[in-house]
Structure 1
Amino acid sequence: MVSYGGGVQSTALLVLAARREIDYRTFLFANVGNDSEHPATLAYVRDVALPFAAAKGIQLESLERRRRDGTSETLLQRLSRPELRSIPIPVRMANGAPGRRSCTADFKIRVVGRWLREHGATAGTPATVAIGISVDEIHRANRRRREPHEEIDYPLLDMGLRRSDCERLISEAGLPVPPKSSCFFCPFKTVEAWRQQRAADPELFAKSVKVEELVNQRRASLGRDPVYLSRFGRPLREAIAAPGPAASGDEDDGVCDAGWCMT
């Protein structure tokens, strides 16, 4: 199966599967929550990817995290829990460095892993899981980082495809190129992406500000220093100005290195 992120690289894998150039017929989208995923990604999956997959005979399923009692949980709900002591997203410390995170493991990898085990994957008969990492992001690839029930595959690397190649494949299939996928409040977002969010979608930016404030309310109650969603060591509302020319370093703030997000 393919870990489908709703972005450029994994949508290129969907096109390649439709063209029978890769042998994958099952795509799994681990939705971290309709209140947490970027609305543009959710719209793309719903309005573009799902109809395309159905027309090509490809199984594209949307999965969500389930608690032991069977109820669903979103990442934003996790962040909002009053008893929260550890922060699941890679918030920035005062020096700009990202902290530890569990969001990818809990809301992507384990959600997909549960589906795989329910469908027969074991340590003895692991599932092959394709990740959408292109050549220009080869530093994100690590076949050793895997669960016992899976084997990791990187078809785009094997085919020597870059992000620009992925965009071309998508356009050739008659599909719009998807936006970069991630949670709308992801601290790995570049400075320019934050600026664009503030300018193009002020309501969504206001929600991001509230997420940062919520996290810091929890930390203040525990006597801990504040953390931030951008690398500037200041509250998001103060740190992110209106869009302008990208400053040096804006394009490489950081990226999720697991490959399960931002693809």
Structure 2
Amino acid sequence: MNALFPPPVDTSTIKLRVLSLGAGVQSTTLALMAAHGEIGPMPDCAIFADTGWEPQAVYEHLAWLRSLNVLPFPVYIVSDGNIREGLVRGAQGERWASIPAFTRSASGTVGMIRRQCTRELKIAPIRRKVRELIGIAGKRSPNRPVVEQWIGISFDEIVRMKMSMEPWQVNRFPLIELGMTRRDCLRWLERNGYPAPPKSSCIGCPYHSDSLWRQMREEDPDAFADAVAIDRLIRTGFRNLRGEVFLHRSCLPLDEADLDTLADKGQLDLFADECDGMCGV
């Protein structure tokens, strides 16, 4: 497969190649393509940032990826706390890493809360582990790139591609280099005898589309019941928030929202502008 976009030209100073693993379709495909020698050079490791509130199927898929003879490089798991527990604390007036939940004021105005969860619970712990692995934890950062971080954004989500703001690290997007879409990833997995990975995103993520909420309700009722319980719990109590808080964009309780309308409301499109390439892949 010919690359549409070449990888960074000067890689002579790179000492560590890290794959950001969300354990979804794209990052799984990226990891397995590397294992098959179809993308190189081989990563030194992959890192999964655990928010503590992924569906059970994601944790089972991650365990498979970490099992013997699947990937030829280690997969590290890092965490900066449990997002579900943070929501509970936030609803009690404590400090929390805010999620992009929907709010409704007394006048009926609908808005979204500023999102901190991706940066605090995904990007920060990965960055800390990378600095540990490269040997610069607690030290001054190099002024040249020494780390190449692979991110599993596919060509159909190219708007999520962001360059690194750190001089010591460069971001690389191999699936975009190859012009591979999410559907191409699924086809590659099928051709090579791998099952389709589960959707990788937090159980109560407000970016869920109605179709994903429906799927959760029908296929993982325990997870859906948990999301409903948390949605009910977070209605009020957050510091500096006067309106009510909801997980669904309708600003209705999740178990009362209309999830069955055939025309999906496009909620998943919010990922394109907001999720920094760290969630859902």
TM-score tier (shorter): 0.7 to 0.9
Question: Which among 169, 177, 199 is matched to residue 158 of structure 1?
Answer: 177
Structure 1 counterpart of 2:246: 228
Q: Deviations over 1:66-93 (max 9, x none)?
A: xxxxxxx211122222342555111013
Structure 2 counterpart of 1:88: 98
CA contact (8 A) 2:35 2:71 kept: yes
Deviation, 1:155, is 0.7
AA aligned opposite 2:150: A
Could you say what secondary structure the match of 1:152 adopts?
strand
Structure 2 counterpart of 1:68: none
AA aligned opposite 1:63: V
Structure 2 counterpart of 1:109: 123
AA aligned opposite 1:218: G
Deviation, 1:123, is 3.8
- The higher radius of gyration belongs to 2
Q: RMSD of the alignment, in Å?
A: 2.2
CA, structure 1 residues 7+159, in 2 after alignment: closer, same or farther (shift >3 Å)? same
After TM superposition, the structure 1 = structure 2 runs for residues 32-181 of structure 1, keeping only pairs within 5 Å, are 32-33=51-52, 36-46=53-63, 48-51=64-67, 54-65=69-80, 73-81=81-89, 82-85=92-95, 88-94=98-104, 97-120=111-134, 121=136, 122-124=141-143, 125-144=145-164, 146-181=165-200
Structure 1 segments, 4+ long, off by >6 Å, are none
Could you say what secondary structure the match of 2:170 adopts?
strand
Of stretches 221-230 and 184-193 in structure 1, the one that deviates more from structure 2 is 221-230
Q: Deviations over 1:94-133 (max 9, x none)?
A: 3554321111111110100110111225343441111111
User: Equivalents in 2 of 1:40, 1:77: separation in Å?
Assistant: 20
Could you say what secondary structure the match of 1:188 adopts?
coil
CA contact (8 A) 1:128 1:153 kept: yes
User: Equivalents in 1 of 2:264, 2:50: separation in Å?
Assistant: 33
Count matched residues.
248
What is the TM-score with the length of structure 2 in the denominator? 0.80
User: Equivalents in 2 of 1:2, 1:114: separation in Å?
Assistant: 14
Unaligned runs of 5+ in 1: 66-72
Structure 1 counterpart of 2:278: 260
What is the TM-score with the length of structure 1 in the denominator? 0.85
CA, structure 1 residues 26+142, in 2 after alignment: closer, same or farther (shift >3 Å)? same
- Taking every aligned residue pair, what percent have the same amino acid on both sides? 32
AA aligned opposite 1:235: P
